[in-house]
Amino acid sequence: MAAPTRIALIGCGFYAQNHLAAWRDLVPEGAELVAVCDTDPAKAAAAAAISRVPAYTDAAAMLADLAPDLVDIVTRVETHRALAEIAVRHARGVIVQKPFAPTAEDARAIVDAAARAGVWLAVHENFRFQPPLRRAIDLVEAGRIGPPSWARLHFRTGFDVYRTQPYFLTETRLCIADVGVHILDLARRILGEVTHLTAEIQQRNPRLVGEDTATMLLRHENGAVSVVECTYEARREPDPFPETLLQVEGPIGAIIVNAGGGIELTEGGAMTRLAPGYAFAPWMDPRWGISQAGCLEACRHYLARFRAGRDAETSGKDNLRTLALVEAAYASAASLGPMRPSPV
């Protein structure tokens, strides 16, 4: 049997709780969490206690002590470059939570540092791994609707994201950088690369610094068009948070992903309802379950690809293209015109 993959995790805050649970679930597939680190000693100690591993408050010290196989960085975006640059000196693989970096230049610097060190690099971009969305991707790839030519992908919620992620209140770039990045990534995954996009942004909640709503129109290289929407200001019940809903059309059918994970698949002129084909793990909270399931499936993918010596779907290099869409969206919103994404 292959040796376990020794994983060190950096950042034990809000979302890292899902990574800790995912790595526990993935022990039978070769994951072995060996240490956790947070600059806040209480958070490091709490994560260490539930995972029964040593706690560190200094990432460089942890990595120098343990030389893990894989480092999982789950801190906020402004810390990613510095931590990734340390991690590539001590490990064979590094995973960085989305958003990959605050600027395209920082993201490129991380990709280059990993390449120079010969280190495997992935971005934890997990929406494309959420079970209903992955099922839709699989249906498209199986040719069930023919080559997709139009799609609407939307994340519309009024859930109080500011309670769970209070740092949102002061972000100058909010909705596209935080959640739009996932949906743009998903649009790329389903319809292919983008030639140009137009974005309109709004700040509907006056308490904020950044935008809370974005409406984006994308033209893909294969001629397909998609509408990508994200907002934290949709007052609708039932509120689908944290689900992304999807409609995708091709020449011979259509796929609709509804709230609750059910899918309506039209092919051959007839519609079939596919019931959600997954169950939440016991540690998942029904309010966050689809996000947590996406986190688990993303970690499973990264572990398997790292162990097989294969690039992740969402490698660092791949994610430069998703970040280019984020940059193009902000540039379009500022100039009120269409923008071509240009990965650095």
Residue 39: contacted member of ligand 89Y, ligand NAD, none (CB under 5 to 8 Å, by partner type): ligand NAD
For residue 28, count CB atoms less than 10 angstroms from its CB and return exposed for 0-12, middle for 13-18, buried for 19 or more.
exposed
Single-letter amino acid code for the residue at 137: I
Q: Which does 161 bind (CB under 5 to 8 A by kind): ligand 89Y, ligand NAD, none?
A: ligand 89Y
Q: Residues in the site for ligand 89Y, rule: CB under 6 A?
A: 161, 165, 178-179, 182, 242, 291
- Classified as helix, coil or strand, 89 is coil
Minimum distance, C-beta of residue 94 to ligand NAD, in the bound complex (Å) = 14
From candidates 5, 51, 126, 247, binder to ligand NAD by CB under 6 A: 126
Nearest to 197 by CA among 218, 183, 181: 218
What span, in angstroms and rounded, lies between the C-alpha atoms of 214 and 2?
46
C-alpha separations of 194 from 186, 322, 333 in Å: 12, 10, 17
Our CB check for ligand 89Y shows the closer of 13 and 54 to be 13
Residue 72 binds to ligand NAD (criterion: CB under 6 A): no
Q: Which listed residue (45, 54, 79, 162) binds ligand NAD by CB under 6 A?
A: 79
What residue is closest to ligand NAD based on CB?
13
Report the nearest approach of ligand 89Y to the CB of residue 97 (Å): 8
Query: In terms of CB distance, is 191 or 290 closer to ligand 89Y?
Result: 290
Q: Which does 137 bind (CB under 5 to 8 A by kind): ligand NAD, ligand 89Y, none?
A: none
Place of tokens 């999982």: 72
Judged by beta carbon, residue 98 or residue 156, the one nearer ligand NAD is 98
Tallying the residues shown for the chain, one arrives at 344
Helix/strand/coil for 145:
coil
179 binds, among ligand NAD, ligand 89Y, none (CB under 5 to 8 A by kind): ligand 89Y
Q: Kindly provide the residue ranges of all beta strands, DSSP E only, lying in 221-276, ordered along the sequence.
A: 225-231, 245-250, 253-257, 263-267, 270-274
Which parts of 161-180 interact with ligand NAD (CB under 6 A)?
165, 178
**Quick one: tokens of 184?**
């743009």
We find the least distance from the C-beta atom of residue 144 to ligand NAD, in angstroms, to be 27
Give the pair of three-digit tokens for residue 264. 């309506």
Identify the DSSP state of 55: E
Q: Identify the residue among 7, 22, 43, 228 touching ligand NAD (CB under 6 A).
A: 43
Residues 183-222 that bind ligand NAD (CB under 6 A): none
| Inter-residue contact 301 to 312 (CB < 8 Å) | yes
Nearer to ligand 89Y, 5 or 213 (CB): 213
Candidates 5, 8, 9, 15: give the one binding ligand NAD (CB under 6 A): 15
- Let me know: does 103 contact 267? Beta carbons within 8 Å: no
| Inter-residue contact 68 to 33 (CB < 8 Å) | no
Residue 75 partner contact from ligand 89Y, ligand NAD, none using kind-dependent CB cut-offs of 5 to 8 Å: ligand NAD
